[in-house]
Amino acid sequence: MKKYFGTDGIRGRVGQPPISADWILKLGWAVGKVLATHPSKRNQVLIGKDTRVSGYLLESALEAGLSSAGVDTLLLGPMPTPGIAYLTRTLRVNIGIVISASHNPYYDNGVKFFSSEGMKLADDLECAIEAAMEETLVTVDSRKLGKAVRVRDAEGRYVEFCKSTFPTFLDLRGIKVVIDCAHGATYRIAPGVFRELGASVFEMGVTPDGFNINDQCGSTYPIPLANKVLEEKAHVGIALDGDGDRVIMIDETGAVVDGDELLFIIAKWYVETKRLTGGVVGTSMSNYGLELAFKSQGIPFCRAAVGDRHVLEMLKKNAWNLGGESSGHIICLDANTTGDGIVSALRVLAVMAFTGRTLKELRMGMTKLPQILINVPVANSRINLADNPKIEFALKVAEDRLSGHGRVLLRPSGTESVVRVMVEGQNSDIIQSVAEELAEAVSSSV
């Protein structure tokens, strides 16, 4: 088990290791040291960030660490995670670094990495970086110190990429969109993309101050967006998260359309346009109704562990091109190498524009089963739930109560200090009761 890397890089509370200035400086040096063992003609790293106030601190610390190891740095400034993945590939650098805690509050932050192909770092590289962290930091000779330059056209490059994923024979004229950027990394980019494709756009969450990222807005809190869609009589609402790699949408009636439903809409479109390669990857958290819907359509479906990293690994293993999570991480491998909220939303809008159907009509092909999710706070999410007799007994009782007409999942989060308790089934009252009993068992045990 890796010591620092979780399912999506390294994450924590700002000011406490591993998200402290000294620790992040050492991390930058460790990355540079590992790169030194993989020599190339361009020993460069690029760094992008979301809008958290701590991004300034962590960006400077990483840059200093990389420079001390002799690595040059390209600075992107605020940039969505999928944009950083894209630019890592197109600018031909060795590694792309994202400073973000995704959907978490401003006082958290994190660091995640992309390979030169725009994919998540391989396990052996993450292990090598962790091993280098245990060594003494030694600065290279002054002649070999790394330099840093700012990429001035990063936003424009990514805007054009996003637009290029939308069919050239379609446009968004006549479609009114309300977009919530969560005061995050997409605040300048996303509204422009949809406007340039012809949509009428009303903006929300586009005034970041370093502290309001994800604060009662964005994909984790879509209620204000739903209200605004109704108020503006818009055709659709688009809720992005702080780093722009996930999306939740709102239909014209103000109803939330989650990642499972969006994945179903895109998959059907891929089948109809002969773009789907193989089948679709979901996760253990994907609603059972999604699995049933794919089965009725004859679309192969399999589940990966939670986390877009695991979805991507299964897509590559199966040589498929579409997968995603209920949270709105949707990976369209024919477009980008990671979850991309803007691109995913454009896929759905393309279906609307081509078919003339509303989002409410498009989502009707899938019926979600009732699902209850409770996040139980814990001191350490890296716990082994299987070794706890009380939790084991509670699980057995829960499964007996569901009588084969539902499923239960207990999962320590890879990004937050919580255990996620998920119960799914046909009877809402029963699954609510089962979920509360399991959450209490977890809370009192760990």
Given a cut of 80, is residue 380 above it in pLDDT? Answer: no
Q: What is the pLDDT of residue 40?
A: 65
- pLDDT class for 319, splitting at 50, 70, 90? very high
Domain boundaries 10-153, corresponding CATH code? 3.40.120.10
Q: DSSP class of residue 120?
A: B
Residue 93 one-letter amino acid? V
40 annotated active-site: no
Residues 402-427: what's their mean pLDDT?
86
Q: What is the pLDDT of residue 357?
A: 97
Given a cut of 90, is residue 32 above it in pLDDT? Answer: yes
Residues 148-156: what's their mean pLDDT?
97
Q: What is the 3-state secondary structure (H, E, C) of 313-347?
A: HHHHHHCCCEEECCCCCEEECCCCCCCCHHHHHHH
Indicate the class that CATH gives domain 371-445: alpha beta
Lowest mean pLDDT, pick from 123-127, 140-144, 406-410: 406-410
d(CA 58, CA 25): 8
User: Concatenated DSSP letters for 207-255?
Assistant: ---SS-TTTT-GGG--HHHHHHHHHHT-SEEEEE-TTSS-EEEE-TTS-
Catalytic residue among 102, 219, 327, 344: 102
**What integer best gives the mean pLDDT of the chain?**
94
d(CA 222, CA 149): 37
Q: What is the pTM of this model?
A: 0.90
CB 61 within 8 A of CB 32: no
- Which of helix, strand or coil describes residue 281? strand
Q: What is the pLDDT of residue 412?
A: 86
- pLDDT class for 379, splitting at 50, 70, 90? confident
Domain coordinates in residue numbering, the chain? 10-153, 163-365, 371-445
Q: How far apart are the first and last CA of the chain?
A: 20
The radius of gyration computed from the CA coordinates of the chain, to the nearest angstrom, equals 22
CATH of 163-365, one of 3.40.640.10, 3.40.120.10, 2.30.130.10, 3.40.50.720: 3.40.120.10
The two domains 163-365 and 371-445 share their CATH topology (first three levels equal): no
- pLDDT class for 382, splitting at 50, 70, 90? low
